[in-house]
Chains A and B, each alone.
Chain A
Amino acid sequence: MAGDGYPTADIFQLLKNNLTLNKLAVEKVTCATASFDLYVGLQYLLSSLGMAYSAAVKKAQPRIINGIKANFGKGYYIYVYCSGERSPINFLPKESVVTTTNPQMKHSLQRENQTNISFNIVNRSLMVEECIVQTGIEEFLNSDLGVLRIKKIDRISYDHEWVYDISVPDCENFIAGVGAILCHNSLDACTEAKILPEIKVEIKKLAEDRFKVIVEDNGPGIVKEQIPRIFAKLLYGSKFHRLRQSMGQQGIGISASVLYSQSTTGKPALIISKIHPKKPAHYYELKIDTAKNEPHILKEEVREWNKDHGTRIELEIEGKYQKGRQSVDEFIKSAAVVNPHARFVYITPENEKMVFERATNDLPIEAKEIMPHPYGIELGTLIKMLAETSSRTLQSFLTTEFCRIGPGTAKEMCGKAGLKAEMKPHSISHDQAEKLFRSMQEIKVIAPPTDCLSPIGSALLEKGLKKELPAEFYVAVSRSPVVYRGFPFQIECAIGFGGQLDKEFQVKLMRFANRVPLLYQQGACAITEAVTETNWKAYGLQQSGNNMPVGPAVIVVHMASVWVPFTSEAKDAIAHYDEIIKEIKLALQECGRKLGLYIRKHIRAQEHQERMNLFEKYIPEVASSLAKLSGEKRAEIEQNLLTILKKETSSMNNVNGENGKEE
């Protein structure tokens, strides 16, 4: 493995005693090979083990060994660093650092031939403010750059237009749920595949309490092998540990829908999916084997489907069709507001076709996936992660499975918890895990990156609201992302006012989390609390106490986050965290101020005009009454009144003020 064709004594010792590389007394081990495949494979292996290494290619050259001249062919070299920090990945280019008072760094900087400087030293110096770095370098220090561990490499034959996810071994859970859930995972699938989504929902009434639900998307489709498991196996999916803003999360929605259909009507789910125009569509009739939680395939065949790609599911269920606040109609309408890039077609049981057109052809920015942040993790999850990790050491576990932890921070965390950085994660006891957990919360770590969020954006949110709501004034605000307990989140808010909206009733509140409408449990939601605690009187709406404001308005609040703290698994309401409520209130106030401005300007002016018109209508009446009463001429009285009206119009506003009350 090393040495010129022969493993060195060190390596032999290592192999004999079943030790790991980092137990070796040497700094690095060099592996040279003539095989390109081995060179590539070794790199994958090393990175999947969480080892630090660097690689180099050497040209063919003549060499003299022991006085014998030999022609060496092209060689591939890998240097494995036994102490993790030696890896070039942990070094910064020297010229980036400008000034320092840290003697260690000064020394490194002055040394000749030294082209880089340890990332750790810089980081440590930064923390105690011993050095000033050039602009840009801090960004690099704070960034997510690092080596991602490769868990498994499989060669697959794949000739489709889109690739779903190369980092996840199984496959994505990209369609799930009836009606509600089905839609948003379809949106997930389309966003991931960069397709402008078009979702069709059809509900057919078969009997008073029996319906057929058909949902069809134009998403990337599902590969044949995955169809049975996705639709007929509960909790199948890979989104569990994913920290990424997405609509579906648990892989429970669609299979639970299939289960519901099967237990209420006994009918199988009918699924057809196609991944490419040139590929055939696959049709399945599926049930869930509830004893084993495995798919039970009743029928499978290749079918013609006049569509480029997409998925369609048909379920027969028992249920009740209803209209109003908590209905499929409302859900789709709301989804259309916050997904302006999607087109929805909905055919109701009454055979009414509703089309919700797109407001934009731009897809939302794809949310990046991030590793959990040490501040946002719970002890139970940490224990589970420790047990499941493939990292060999605590240090590599911390640096690879969390964001914002570098080797130095990892060591510090271990040290504070009284643990060694070299310990095996699997050997950590419960007590030790608790100590580690505590030290993870105590040590200062930079906030997680916020590019894992995909906000709608104020302009698009406004457009979405405009196309679904007959108001006359619209305003939308998108706050900057903020971090709460290691979880980045972002609040967006919009208000539609006036027009055909109802004046007499409470304002309609539309709540969303990650672009999914929340229809139930309004009273239990943090959004509701933020709305009722905002003083809407200041913004021109009526409000009594801490109640929902009253007036012709609709308030939209959207929370985008990698982790939305729902009050329950049903994902109906957002839990009451002060930080979240505060941020929602700030968004509402920002919208409110603009609304207030508009109301004052336009509505007051309109009311004023209405009043003027009223005077004009009153004048003939007053004139004829006065004529009768006084015996004077009607026409003359009316003329006098009109003259005064013209004169008064200018000074009217003053008279209309608070002092207008009689007596």
Chain B
Amino acid sequence: MAKKNESKKALEELGQKIVLDLHRGKNPEINIPVRALSNVVFDKKTKTLKLGDKIGSRSFFNVAHAKKFLQTVEVASILKKELLESGKHEHLRGVFYMAKRTIPGTKVNIVDEQVESDKIIEDLEVITGLSREQLHVSANKMGSMIGNIILEDSGDTIDCSKLGRGGYSIPSIVDELEFKKINAKYILYMEKASTYERLVEDRFWEKNQSILLTSQGQTTRGIRRLLQRLSEEKNLPIYVLVDQDPWGVYIYSVVKYGSINLAGQSERLTIPNVKFLGISCDDIIKYDLKRHLIKFTDQDIARLKQISEYEWFKDNKAWQRQLKMMKEMGGKVEIQSLSARGTSFISEKYLPEKIKNKDFLE
């Protein structure tokens, strides 16, 4: 309950600061830490991304800012009035609909698309220093977990080894989950749901005493927070399995170091000792996957260049070598290409071998 009040108070303070500006006859202004690569600092000590001290301002009497200013105060008032005061949670999509309406006398909508309200919520997170979850906003559930782990969620006890093929659906807010019993040596987190299904069918988690986790594409905050808690509270090693391409590398990078967008919340989301399992460029050679290369698009190449220049990869020789090899190969290899060596090649040979040899990248 104390937390909820804290969030409510933070938003209220924001409002009162603006009202004070108005009283003084000043063009009202909201200061927002800049969320861009230019204001992200890589903290070498903690090995996480942190927000720098650049602050942008959003004032109402400026045509370029006016609408965003309106969106900010509108969304903030919704969060405060509709969610925090009543103690209810709302989905990003729901917040969008609460804000979406036409300004009387114009053809202008306060928000036209969900990205706009999503951005504002991200702004409010950095303004208040609170997380989206603390502001009672949740996101899509996009991940599943299976393995020898028993946990308690809202009073229900869930055994993640007895949930059939579906597994446990990871909620977007995981702070209140309680870990009851864990019998696993490591956690394997993978980008591809189809690989996850493959491993579930092969009962990989049972045979190898592990926990399997997946998302679809980018790692949601819920998963990141859950992985962090498992890593920190239960001291479980975490291995990441992604495609061999710039986007796969970035998924690993986000889990390990944090993301540019959420650099402000790195403390509760990053897992510095996570390890990159594959697929590495060396795997491509070792497991003869070169013929499965899919040529990079111009976008892929541009992204690869960006990633190799990120501060946290720049001084990492092992990674520079990987990225250089990737560039030379000129194409990507998906996890699924391992199936070419046999359906269960991944669960019977590739993964056990890599884990046994500690063939990881960091």
Contact = CB atoms under 8 A, between A and B. Distances in A.
**Do chains A and B interact in one complex?**
yes
A181 interface: no
Interface in A582-623: 611, 614-615, 617-618, 620-622
Interface string B59-74: 0111111111110011
B208 interface: no
A622 B73 contact: yes
B299 interface: no
A618 to B, nearest CB: 5
Given A621-B74, A625-B77, A630 B18 contact: yes
Interface in A627-655: 628-632, 637, 640-641, 643-645, 647-648, 652, 655
B163 to A, nearest CB: 43
B108 A643 contact: no
A637 B21 CA distance: 10
Contacts of A656: 62-64
B335 interface: no
A617 B103 contact: yes
Interface in B156-199: none
Nearest to B73: A625
Contacts of A641: 22, 28, 60
A660 B67 CA distance: 13
B61 A637 contact: no
Contacts of A629: 11-12, 14-15, 18, 73, 76-77, 80-81
Contact of B34 (A630, A632, A637, A663): A663
Given A614-B66, A621-B103, A641-B60, A631 B108 contact: no
Given A617-B108, A640-B25, A662 B103 contact: no
Interface residues of B, number: 42
A644 B66 contact: no
A637 B110 contact: no
A59 interface: no
A644 B103 contact: no
A661 interface: yes
A284 B98 CA distance: 78
B23 interface: yes
Interface residues of A, number: 30
Contact of B68 (A615, A626, A662): A662
B243 to A, nearest CB: 33
B357 interface: no
Contacts of A660: 62-65
B361 interface: no
Contacts of B306: none
A630 B70 contact: no
A661 B15 contact: no
Interface string A11-48: 00000000000000000000000000000000000000
Contact of B63 (A611, A625, A632): A611
A622 B64 contact: no
Nearest to A663: B56
A628 B77 contact: yes
A632 B65 contact: no
A655 B77 contact: no
Interface in B56-111: 56-58, 60-70, 73-74, 76-77, 80-81, 103-106, 108, 110
A617 B58 CA distance: 18
A123 B222 CA distance: 99
Contacts of A663: 32, 34, 36, 56
Contacts of B11: 629
Contacts of B5: none
B339 interface: no
Contact of B19 (A615, A618, A621, A630): A630
A626 B61 contact: no
Contacts of A637: 19, 22
Given A630-B16, A644-B27, A655 B62 contact: yes
A614 B106 contact: yes
B103 A625 contact: no
Contacts of B76: 625, 629
Interface string B285-316: 00000000000000000000000000000000
Contact of A626 (B15, B34, B63): B15
Given A611-B63, A618-B70, A648-B61, A626 B19 contact: yes
Contacts of B74: 621-622, 625
A618 B16 contact: no
B153 to A, nearest CB: 33
A311 B76 CA distance: 78
B66 A662 contact: no
B321 interface: no
A630 B12 contact: yes
B70 A625 contact: yes
A622 B15 contact: no
A656 B34 CA distance: 21
Contacts of A661: 64
Contacts of B105: 617
Contacts of B108: 614, 617
B64 to A, nearest CB: 4
Given A626-B73, A648-B61, A618 B22 contact: no
A648 B56 CA distance: 21
B58 A662 contact: yes
Contacts of B354: none
Nearest to A655: B62
Contacts of A617: 103-106, 108
Nearest to A641: B22
B26 interface: yes
A359 to B, nearest CB: 37
B257 to A, nearest CB: 23
B81 A628 contact: yes
Contact of B56 (A626, A645, A662): A662
A620 B19 CA distance: 14
Nearest to B18: A626
B104 A644 contact: no
A648 B14 CA distance: 23
8 contacts: A617-B103, A621-B110, A622-B70, A629-B14, A631-B16, A641-B28, A660-B62, A661-B64
Interface of A: 611, 614-615, 617-618, 620-622, 625-626, 628-632, 637, 640-641, 643-645, 647-648, 652, 655-656, 660-663
Given A622-B73, A629-B18, 18 more contacts: A618-B60, A618-B66, A621-B74, A622-B69, A626-B18, A626-B73, A628-B80, A628-B81, A629-B12, A629-B14, A629-B73, A640-B22, A640-B25, A644-B22, A644-B27, A655-B62, A660-B64, A663-B56
Closest 4 CB pairs of A and B: A630-B15, A629-B15, A660-B64, A663-B56
